[in-house]
Amino acid sequence: MRILIVEDEPGIYNFLKQGLEEESYAVDIAEEGKKGLKMALSGEYDLLLLDWMVPGISGIEICRQFRQEFKQTPVIFLTAKDTLDETIFGLQTGANDYIKKPFHFEELLERIRVQLRPKSGEHSIFKLGNITLNTATYQVFKGDEEISLTQKEFALLEHLLRNKGMVCRRSRIIESVWDIHFDYNTGVIDVFINALRKKLKLGKDENYIQTVRGVGYIAKEI
């Protein structure tokens, strides 16, 4: 899941970026309104976090123009305490939710989940054969055995499981997991797929993560 943050204060966006990345969202930042709108319109994001006051175009204007293009991507506003009445106006321009600064990260996360739920499926637990991945506790089990994964391994497996039964293109994987959206003629994915299959001890009879030659990978029940 990709999130765009339009926010000019480094203190805030760094906090958000790190926190959200720990939850394995891919996060991009725009420090300025015009750029933010352009990035938002690219269609690469699953959710927008807009600060109310950013240099350039205001958050509300970004939202309005964004919705004018019939984009459905959920929008959450980050607003200062004293602009509440305007905020409600903001919701009328098509935002989905708002959150007051200072806020608890936990609360923001919950609201993000609410917005993404219809797409991402509501459970934080994903299953594939006897493999279980729990995004809440950051744990992976194969049967009863806990498998210790690194960040990237976890993010990759999560991506595959979120899209269980569907082919995940390499380009999409590199975008979602590595947050790279340009050239990607690199072998990282292969290396990490290899690591996953090893750690999960996927034998011939447990070919849960299959290669789709020329395209990517697919996680599916056998």
- Interface residues with its own copies (CB under 8 A) are 10-12, 14-15, 18-19, 22-23, 84-85, 87-88, 91-92, 96-98, 100, 102-107, 110-111, 114, 117, 122-123, 136-139, 150-151, 165-167, 169-172, 175, 181-185, 212-216, 218
Shortest distance in whole angstroms from residue 13 CB to its own copies: 9
Distance of CA 151 to the CA centre of its chain: 14
- From the list DNA, its own copies, none, which binds 137 (C-beta under 5 to 8 Å, kind-based)? its own copies
139 HSE (CA, 13 A, CB side): 7
CB of 49 to DNA, least distance (A): 21
Closest approach, Cβ 175 to its own copies, in A, equals: 5
Other C-beta atoms lying within 10 Å of the C-beta of residue 192: 20
User: Which option in its own copies, DNA, none does residue 187 bind, with CB closer than 5 to 8 A by kind?
Assistant: DNA
Residues binding DNA (CB under 7 A): 150-153, 170, 178, 186-188, 190-194, 197, 211-216
Instruction: Give the closest residue to 90 by CA, choosing from 100, 77, 103, 72.
Output: 77
- How far apart CA 159 and CA 66 sit, in angstroms, is 27
Residue in the structure block whose two tokens are 């929008």: 75
Q: Residue 121's binding partner, choosing from its own copies, DNA, none, with beta-carbon cut-off 5 to 8 A by kind?
A: none
Nearer to DNA, 92 or 211 (CB): 211
For the bound state, the minimum distance from the C-beta of residue 40 to its own copies, rounded and expressed in Å, comes to 21
| Binding partner at 193 among DNA, its own copies, none, C-beta below 5 to 8 Å by kind | DNA
Are 218 and 168 in contact by the 8 Å Cβ rule? The answer is yes
Q: Which is nearer to its own copies, 42 or 103 (CB)?
A: 103
